[in-house]
Structure 1
Amino acid sequence: MDDNRGKWLRLTLLGLLSGVLAGCIVLAFRDAISWGQYLLLPGNGDYEDLPLLPRILLPVGVGLLLGLVFDTLPRELREVGITHVLRRLQAPGQERLPPANMLTQFAGAVLAIVGGHSVDREGPAAHIGAASASFVGQRLHLTAEEEITLAACGAAAAIAAAFDTPLAGVIFVIEVLRIRYQVSRYLPVIVAAVIGAMVSRALSLTQPGFAISPEYLSPNWEYTTLIILGTVTGLLAISFISLTGIVASRTIHWRCVLSFPLAGLITGMIALWVPQIMGTSYDTLEHLLRGEGDLLLVVTLLLAKLIATSCAIGLRIPGGLIGPSLFIGGAAGAAVGLAMAQYSLINTDSSGFYAIIGMVAMMGATLRAPLAALTALLELTANSNIILPGMVAVACAELITRLIRGQKSIFDVLLDIQTRSARFVQQEKRSRP
């Protein structure tokens, strides 16, 4: 009994250490992106200020550079992101996350985002956090079970630090990484998530991300509008997953020096007309949450972001898709709110309210993580009154997506494609004389 208590206490303390380590590394990662954008982009680091030609040349050039570097790496070192973490944690005997892949993810994501590719920093942050904590376990020669727990600690701390949502970080580990819940295992994860959020607040002075105007939180929500929004975001999640999967399956055997510049070219061509889709697009999302923008612009942003991100992720750009899914959902919510108000189907223009509901509905349906999405909604808004309308939209989106696409998340789809590709490569090697 005492031995078990000692192991449990040691793992909890290591969870605390993992939270500090992951929080600091994620902040360094975020700062590297911010500094790169500040130094490279005109004005205040906005892609909208770029002249027309650099909007194409920047993502294509960065894509070419990344492609040349990635093609020199062994195949196993090119594996990055949440799909990499999922594959390693689910494969018996391969629970350790290699530090070299973490470095590939760090540098690759910084270059991709600064270069304007339509990807995010939160997916890479989850990989970086999990790998940094796993490295601690490797140095201490922990058991495979303990290393999985530490990887979960790092991922939860990274999500908590990235969004300032510690509870959502814990739920993310359960729903997305599918780390089986055990009380003895999840106390270290909770500690790590709390510490990750505290590190983020202490070093970057972040506050809960989104404020909702009081008039949007009256008890008279238009439930019909919420059901429509949930249905729309569910269909968008299906489109996002399907398009990303199609692009990935058709190009999985392409060399990076071809696929990465092509992703940059697609992004650049779209950015000629819609530069807001370059990079993480969080500044544009903030405008949507404030209820700014007309219906045509919002729909254009939605479609442009969906296409650009699907192509970027499908063509294996080393970035994440959690942020783009939030953007697409936010644009969908804003569009539904604007459309309903424009045709006098709701009383007030509350597009900002519907934007944040759309964000979490899209996230839940795309990642198959409805509880993490609702938890994030509560933590981001710091207002419990928004949970009920959020549940209506998230449930509708999840229902539509499961009925049409089944239970697989976008990460499952990408992981299946990568697994089939790896088997094909192995068979090709065996068939050679």
Structure 2
Amino acid sequence: MLEDANSTGEPDHAGKASVEIPEQLQTLRQRLAAWRAGIVGGLGIGARLRQLIRRRESWLVLLAVIVGAAAGLVVIVLRDLAYALQRVLYDLPDEQRLSALHSLPLHLALMPAAGGIILGVAMLFLRRRKSRYVDLVEANALHGGKLSMVDSLIITAQTVVSNGFGASVGLEAAYTQMGGGLASKLGDIFQLRRGDMRKLVGCGAAGAIAAAFGAPLTGAFYAFELIIGTYTIATLTPVVAASIAAVLVASLFGQGEPIVSITQAINIGLPQIVLIVLCGFATGGVGILLMRLVGLIEAAFSGLKIPTWARPAIGGTIVGCLALVTPAVLSAGHGALEHAFVAPPLPIILALLIVCLKIVASAVSLGSGFRGGLFFASLFLGAILGQAFYWLAAYIDPGLFPDPSVPMLVGMAGLAAAIVGGPLTMAFLALETSGSLPLTVAVLVAAVASSMLVRETFGYSFTTWRFHLRGETIRSAHDVGWMRNLTVGKMMRRDVKSVPDRITFKEFRRLYPLGAATRVIAVRDDGRYAGLIDVADAYGEGVDDDTLSVQAVLQYREVMLHPAMGANDAEALFEKHSADALVVVSDLAERKVIGTLTEAHLLRRYAEELEKARADLAA
């Protein structure tokens, strides 16, 4: 019988404490787990809710309304934060917008550089994070709508600082990131299926854009075209419900009004359509120029070996210098756009100068490391290009466009469709702004012409172009993540048959008579892959000499798969070498055999996953 180590015979309080503390911690952990389960699924409520959401569309719509309302609140908070920052830093009156200033004092031109310094310091603190900061399009295309809330908060904070200090970027990226992030977190709580999660993330983005522009249909089609990647009956109700909820919430706080209001009635005939198509092509070309310029500036910073953390300060200095010429280049351009629609059109030379300066400012801001988007910047640039187009049309015939707001709206739609990538989004923005169906048709013509030019000659919107610069091949938000997940490692067979590569045909035939196996792997003395043996070849003509080694019939000596290879890449390798089966090695350098994969099995698994994706799309 064991006795206490305490010589006095008293209880060992120290030993008792060392036992009780872990038990207390374990009890506390169990209570926390029970509390969490009570929130999410206590008494079976959470499980029943998950089942209802999966089985009944109406419950998913309810979640979409909640997400839309939350996105509307997010837009209000972020917009007020950015505007408050601008008012403090630039000493603006309450109703004054930064980009609408007539001139900028010299000392305030340093504000974008100060914002760049803050971002640079933040980069130094965040450089240990391994995250790639996934945005909504990438999340829906590759990760089934999964977003990190921490990453979303970091992106949002960086965007607010960038916009608040005057960098030439918009807040729409922050709006949609937080709207989609909240939707993803809610979907994660309810363990939504991949298809439903993607829809809910689209609802978050739709609500954010709808609240930002006071346009529910614009927000809905932004989600369809850019975030979800397709339009179906199943996505219509939740996305539209989220957009309407977001606009209603924004209106409760006195926000959510359209960015401009156009009431001019117009007649669109053949001459106007021809000019609008030309305007669409022109704005498409400007959009391509801007997107390429961002990549060139990023490459220039890299080529000059400038540290990543120092780039925003340099970019901010350049933006500040441009702002001394015209403050219209600062921030996204809300104030400058509103002023452009109420003031007489600018002279054509001045309009083109502002366009050039704004393009450079936006490209430098993004290329140097500021966070933000080009949605509103493209609207402002398009409107000023529309003023230049107005003067050109007036030179041909003053009666073609009596109101300059018409070509301005056409220019907005054309350039935004080129950069953002949503022609129907722009058409509905025109409809909700003007209420004019003829003007909506004109805008749609310009947006389609611009989009067609970009697709034919460039192939990317700004979001997908950024993916391309990073080495990704995503062209849209269509769900291709299942293809990335369908890897060789998940499809291969691990029960491999192998022999030394120096074994004789006589010994090989003894081990593997006809019918015992179809293929056998030959390995070297060090275990490295040597080649693949088709058993039938070991019994064919020309191998009568039993003393010969099987090296004479080895196939695909240098052709191997590895576990991380995707289905598309693997199929391309099968096709290139006309192979029915290939060996899978752990590493192409070490060549250690871990399995085999046949082309027939790969194609069957690919077809099964494709059918699942089609079923989700049609649901």
TM-score when normalising by structure 1:
0.88
**Does structure 1 residue 283 correspond to structure 2 residue 335?**
yes
Larger relative CO (CA 8 A, sep 6+): 1 or 2? 1
Note the 1:350-429 alignment, pairs <5 A: 350-406=403-459, 408-419=460-471
Structure 1 consecutive aligned stretches of length 4 or more whose deviation exceeds 4 Å:
2-6, 74-80, 249-255
Among 379, 391, 405, the residue aligned to 1:338: 391
**Does structure 1 residue 300 correspond to structure 2 residue 349?**
no
- Could you say what secondary structure the match of 1:293 adopts? coil
Q: 1:23 to 1:122 in 2, by over 3 A?
A: same
- 40-49 vs 28-37, greater mean Cα deviation: 40-49
In 2, Cα distance between equivalents of 1:398 and 1:153: 24
Conserved? CA contact 2:247–2:256, under 8 Å? no
- Could you say what secondary structure the match of 1:207 adopts? coil
- Could you say what secondary structure the match of 2:253 adopts? helix
The amino acid of 1:355's aligned partner reads M
Conserved? CA contact 1:334–1:351, under 8 Å? yes
Among 134, 140, 144, the residue aligned to 2:194: 144
Conserved? CA contact 2:183–2:203, under 8 Å? yes
In 2, Cα distance between equivalents of 1:240 and 1:361: 14
The amino acid of 1:200's aligned partner reads A
Which residue is equivalent to 1:12? 61
Gaps of 5+ in 1: 422-429
The CA deviation string for residues 22-46 of structure 1, in whole angstroms up to 9 with x for no partner, is 1111111111112222222224254
Q: 1:350 to 1:228 in 2, by over 3 A?
A: farther
Among 75, 79, 84, the residue aligned to 2:135: 84
In 1, Cα distance between equivalents of 2:204 and 2:247: 12
- Could you say what secondary structure the match of 1:350 adopts? coil
Which residue is equivalent to 1:427? none
In 2, Cα distance between equivalents of 1:95 and 1:207: 29
The amino acid of 1:346's aligned partner reads P
**Does structure 1 residue 246 correspond to structure 2 residue 296?**
yes
- Could you say what secondary structure the match of 1:147 adopts? helix
Deviation at 1:241, TM superposition (A): 1.6
Q: 1:292 to 1:42 in 2, by over 3 A?
A: farther
Deviation at 1:70, TM superposition (A): 2.1
- Could you say what secondary structure the match of 1:214 adopts? coil
Q: 1:54 to 1:114 in 2, by over 3 A?
A: farther
Among 152, 165, 168, the residue aligned to 1:115: 165
Conserved? CA contact 1:378–1:384, under 8 Å? yes
- Could you say what secondary structure the match of 2:68 adopts? helix
**Does structure 1 residue 203 correspond to structure 2 residue 256?**
no
In 2, Cα distance between equivalents of 1:316 and 1:75: 17
**Does structure 1 residue 125 correspond to structure 2 residue 175?**
yes
- 49-58 vs 126-135, greater mean Cα deviation: 49-58
Which residue is equivalent to 2:524? none
- 253-262 vs 231-240, greater mean Cα deviation: 253-262
Structure with higher strand content: 2
Matched length = 415
Conserved? CA contact 1:249–1:417, under 8 Å? no
In 1, Cα distance between equivalents of 2:273 and 2:236: 36
Conserved? CA contact 1:78–1:104, under 8 Å? no
Gaps of 5+ in 2: 1-50, 474-586, 588-619
- Could you say what secondary structure the match of 2:470 adopts? helix
Give the % identical residues.
23
TM-score when normalising by structure 2:
0.63
Alignment RMSD (CA, Å): 2.6
Conserved? CA contact 2:212–2:256, under 8 Å? no
Q: 1:103 to 1:6 in 2, by over 3 A?
A: same
Conserved? CA contact 1:370–1:398, under 8 Å? yes
Deviation at 1:160, TM superposition (A): 0.6
The CA deviation string for residues 322-354 of structure 1, in whole angstroms up to 9 with x for no partner, is 01111111111111102332x353336532221
